[in-house]
Amino acid sequence: MRLKDPTASGDGAPPTPAPPALPTTGPARGGTSVARAGALSMLALVAVGGTRLVHGSLTSHDTDRATYGLVGIMLAASMVASLLLPGGVSSGLAKFVAFHRGAGDPAGAWAVHRFLSRLGLVAALVLGVGTALLVRWVYGLGPLDTASLALLTTTYSLYTTDKSAMYGHGLVPQYARIELGTSLLAVIATIAVIVTGETGYLLPLCLGYGLFVLLSRRQLWLRRRAEGAPAAGRFHRREVVTFVVLGSIGTLASAGFLQGTQLLAGQFADPAEVAYLVAAVALIAPLYFLPRALALALFPAMAGAHGAGDAGAVRRQVDGATRALAVTMTPVFLLALLVAPIVLVLFGGGAYADGAPVLRLMLCASFFGILQVPSVNALASGSPAQARIPVVSAVLGCLVGLILVWLTARPMGAAGVALGYLVGTAVTATIPVVVAGRIHRLTWTPALLRCVALLALGALVAQLEVMRGWSWAAGALGAGVLCVAVVVLYNDLRRMLTLVRARSGPPPVR
């Protein structure tokens, strides 16, 4: 019996951006369990984030702030371009390939894969050339930077679609190995560029993403060959195309807004200040490792519970995951707020210490972005009406944030851009958290408000003069804030541990 995909609406309206879904029925050869997929995804995400962090740190140390800001603008342009259509294609591959495989229809899975891969290739090539020419016209790029940007946009766009195809076909271990290897190669290539004194700072990333595309496509070819090249299958083309288009809108409004902050800073802020925002975006990336890995395992589990009509399981999952993220991440963000100047100096040198206010605003925004992950997954895996809520909230939050950027960026510079992103992300996150809490009748509001209050306290303490650099007084004050956080969150921590123990038994058979 073929079950209706619980994340799909009648017209294919997608969630914002949903994590790649793994087959939940009848795991195909080469597949992997949800738990193992989550662990491997965490490892791969660490490799991806670590590569970008090392690349950014080495580049910032080797250049002045204006040059590093321009490199960040080129990187952001490639990331935003990859979300225009490839982002939706990526979501479509992850969802519909896995859906057809779960329904025992490998021919349909390969038919969707073939259709979306061709669409993604055309989009990647067009966006690569278009992005490079546009950025060259605005910022006066040289021939090497223009060619590098075109290549980076194309390879990164293909990287996003092929990664989702690997997840959809259940090739998670193979994906993780390729991700680790190509990430290491990109780091080595970055070191080589710095040591030789070259200025092609984008080329190492082009090499890493390009090799990933070649190796992943070989794995996909081997998988299809092993399955005996299934005959041409059928799929609902209109539903897939609609999903891709709306998925692109959702990813552009959420992930695109984050990358777009660097482009906005390039228009409103002094060139030296752009580097502060570029550094902040690179530094907050590792904080998303845990929630992203959690989402990769959580989404299919919630979808399965919805499909089985087990609303109680969804309630327990969203409640436990949200409380766990809030309790565990609040102290981490508090510490990051307090040591922001030191982190920036280690990342890019003494000239970056003045960017601490920008980093702190981006940290606060990231807290809201992380807190919403379980609620977004719960809604996206639910009914068609629920699945639209994260998309609407992402678009609304993006619009609010952009309006605030327009009002504050010129007088405040990069800090104004970061403030707009903070407010926009808060709007984006609040809607799904509130709606999920009401749907499942959760009593987590006091706990979440305590976490937000602690974050506000940390932001206020971080503004004190004594916290501008390292000293014994700064260390003592920071330790005191962390102790207060432990006391305030003590009961929440105990409740979280109780929920974990209650769910520590064998997982239900789906």
pLDDT, one tens digit per residue, over 238-261 is 878 887 887 778 777 777 777 777
**Is the pLDDT assigned to residue 302 strictly greater than 70?**
no
Report the Cα 102 to chain-centroid distance in Å.
Answer: 25
Q: Which amino acid is at 39?
A: A
**Is the pLDDT assigned to residue 509 strictly greater than 50?**
no
The answer for residues whose C-beta is within 8 angstroms of residue 403's C-beta and 6 or more apart is 420
pLDDT, one tens digit per residue, over 308-334 is 567 777 788 788 788 888 888 888 888
Query: pLDDT band at 13, cuts 50/70/90?
Result: very low
What is the C-alpha separation between 398 and 331, in angstroms, rounded? 27
Domain ranges of the chain: 35-235, 270-504
Longest C-alpha distance within the chain, in Å?
A: 71
**Is the pLDDT assigned to residue 23 strictly greater than 50?**
no
**Is the pLDDT assigned to residue 21 strictly greater than 50?**
no
Using the 8-state DSSP alphabet, how is residue 93 labeled? I
pLDDT, one tens digit per residue, over 420-437 is 899 999 999 999 999 988
Residue 211: per-residue pLDDT: 95
Residue 209: per-residue pLDDT: 93
Q: Supply 500's token pair.
A: 């974990």
What is the C-alpha separation between 36 and 229, in angstroms, rounded? 28
Pick left, alpha or beta for residue 111 (phi over 0 → left; psi -120 to 50 → alpha; otherwise beta): alpha
Q: Judge whether 393 and 380 are in contact, CB under 8 Å.
A: no
Q: Compute the average pLDDT of residues 258-283.
A: 76
What is the C-alpha separation between 221 and 226, in angstroms, rounded? 9
% pLDDT > 90, the chain = 15
Q: Compute the average pLDDT of residues 352-356.
A: 82
Mean pLDDT in the chain? 78
Q: Supply 253's token pair.
A: 């409004």
Q: Judge whether 323 and 447 are in contact, CB under 8 Å.
A: yes
pTM here is 0.70
pLDDT, one tens digit per residue, over 105-127 is 788 888 888 899 899 899 999 99
Report the Cα 316 to chain-centroid distance in Å.
Answer: 24
**Is the pLDDT assigned to residue 1 strictly greater than 60?**
no
**Is the pLDDT assigned to residue 24 strictly greater than 60?**
no
Most confident of 145-149, 166-170, 408-412, 468-472: 145-149
Query: pLDDT band at 42, cuts 50/70/90?
Result: low
**Is the pLDDT assigned to residue 17 strictly greater than 60?**
no
What is the C-alpha separation between 191 and 195, in angstroms, rounded? 6
Q: Which amino acid is at 186?
A: A
**Is the pLDDT assigned to residue 30 strictly greater than 70?**
no
Lowest mean pLDDT among 221-235, 272-286, 288-302, 401-415: 288-302
Residue 32: per-residue pLDDT: 43
Return the higher-pLDDT residue of 357 and 24.
357
Lowest mean pLDDT among 20-29, 293-302, 337-346, 474-483: 20-29
What is the C-alpha separation between 34 and 52, in angstroms, rounded? 27
Residue 6: per-residue pLDDT: 32
- Read out DSSP for 286-319? GGGHHHHHHHHHHHHHHHHHHHTT-HHHHHHHHH
Question: Considering only CA atoms, which of 157, 198, 166 is closest in space to residue 58?
Answer: 198
